[in-house]
Amino acid sequence: MKIVVTVKQIPDPNAPQKLTSDNRLDRGGEAVLDPGDEYGVEAGLKLKEAHGGEVVLVSMGPAKAADAIRKGLSMGADRAIHVSDDSLAGADALLTAQILAAAIKPENPDLVICGTESTDGSTGMVPPMLAELLGMPQATFAKQVEVKGDKVSVHRQTNEGYEVVEAQAPALVTVTAGVGEPRYASLKGIMAARSKEVKKVELSALGIEKGSPAESVEGVADAETRKAGEVIEDDGNAAERILAFLVQVKAV
């Protein structure tokens, strides 16, 4: 079974984040593999262990995104495809999906695994767009993924619980943290990753015509923050204080 996992490098969410002069996310600082994509890699590796085959990472991003790709390879993915072009900085979800689709198509995968949404952009639009462009069913928000023959079966998280969703391969799956804690890269894995193939692909090789962007950033402002109210130390009577507050706001 051939499994493609899409991965993205994002600015380290635990580091201070900055904007560029044109109000885009500054990607110049510390960067990491998107934690949501680590679940994708983990899900792909588990399926490979169960069914054999290979796990291919596909990423779009600047040259330094190679570090995030290497992280996925050291977790155990077999090889990677990296689409890198300076003109892609600030690409919107549709352009990103078009580029990923063009890079993935020649691989003819049985399964494409994505995170549900990137941690930095949070649009959640690339997976359904990618499914559409690849002509694949989308079995999404999966906390569990199983492959039986040429069928993919997932437990799809819902507001009430989950749905059992089935799709015919080739299919696209998005995974949540429910698929299990991503494995750490072992020293052996890190060493092995150094010699794994990372195929660089230029934008021009994909034959994508860049459409007009979906949006322009007009401005960025600080979000309204709530003012801190009263803060008390629990001296054994905190419950009474909370109750008094609840009564005061007529919640009790």
Partner 1 sequence: MAKVWVAAELNQGKVQSISFELLAKARELGDVEAIALGKGAEAAAAELGKHGAKKVYVSEDAAFDDYIGVPAAGTIEALVKQGAPDLILFGFTYDSREVAGRLAARLGVGQVSNAMDVSAEGGGFAASVPYFGGAKVATLKVLNKPAIVLVRPKSFEASEAGGTATIEKIEPQKGDLSRAAKIVDRVVEAGEKVKLEEATIIVSGGRGMQGPENFPLLEQLADALGAAVGASRAVVDAGWVPYAMQVGQTGKSVRPTVYIAAGISGAMQHTVGMKGSKFIVAINKDAEAPILKMADLGVVGDALKIVPKLTDAVKAKKGK
Q: Which of residues 26-45 bind partner 1 (CB under 8 A)?
A: none
- Enter the DSSP assignment of 33: E
Q: How far is the CB of 141 from partner 1 (least distance, A)?
A: 6
Please say which residue, 74 or 116, places its beta carbon nearer to partner 1.
116
Amino acid at 128: P
Among 13, 28, 29, 106, binds partner 1 (CB under 8 A): 13
Q: How far is the CB of 127 from partner 1 (least distance, A)?
A: 7
Q: Is 252 in the site for partner 1 (CB under 8 A)?
A: yes
Within positions 163 to 182, which residues make up the interface with partner 1, using CB under 8 A? 163-168, 171, 176-178
What is the bridge-based pairing of β-strands 171-175 and 111-115? parallel
Distances (CA, A) of 23 to 12, 20, 220, 225: 18, 5, 7, 21
Answer yes or no: are the C-beta atoms of 77 and 55 closer than 8 Å: yes
Q: How far is the CB of 87 from partner 1 (least distance, A)?
A: 17
Among 1, 54, 84, 124, binds partner 1 (CB under 8 A): 124
Q: How big is the CA angle at 158 (ends 156 and 159), to the nearest 5 degrees?
A: 170
C-beta atoms surrounding 89 within 10 Å: 12
Among 141, 193, 203, 206, binds partner 1 (CB under 8 A): 141
Q: Which of 137, 159, 127 is nearest to 36 (CA)?
A: 127
Within positions 75 to 104, which residues make up the interface with partner 1, using CB under 8 A? 92-95, 97
Tell me the C-alpha distance between 83 and 103, whole Å. Answer: 8
Q: Is 219 in the site for partner 1 (CB under 8 A)?
A: yes
Contacting range for partner 1; rule: CB under 8 A; set: 46-54, 61-69, 117-125, 198-206? 117-125
Among 136, 145, 175, 193, binds partner 1 (CB under 8 A): 136
Distances (CA, A) of 16 to 25, 181, 223, 238: 11, 25, 16, 35
Among 40, 157, 193, 196, binds partner 1 (CB under 8 A): 157
Among 25, 88, 190, 198, binds partner 1 (CB under 8 A): 25
Q: Is 15 in the site for partner 1 (CB under 8 A)?
A: no
> Which residues have a Cβ under 8 Å from the Cβ of 152 and sit 6 or more positions away?
111, 139, 145, 146, 166, 167, 168, 169, 171, 173
Please say which residue, 35 or 199, places its beta carbon nearer to partner 1.
35
Please say which residue, 204 or 212, places its beta carbon nearer to partner 1.
212
Please say which residue, 162 or 192, places its beta carbon nearer to partner 1.
162
- Bridge partner residues of 59 (DSSP): 7, 82
Contacting range for partner 1; rule: CB under 8 A; set: 44-52, 57-65, 126-134, 192-200? 126-134
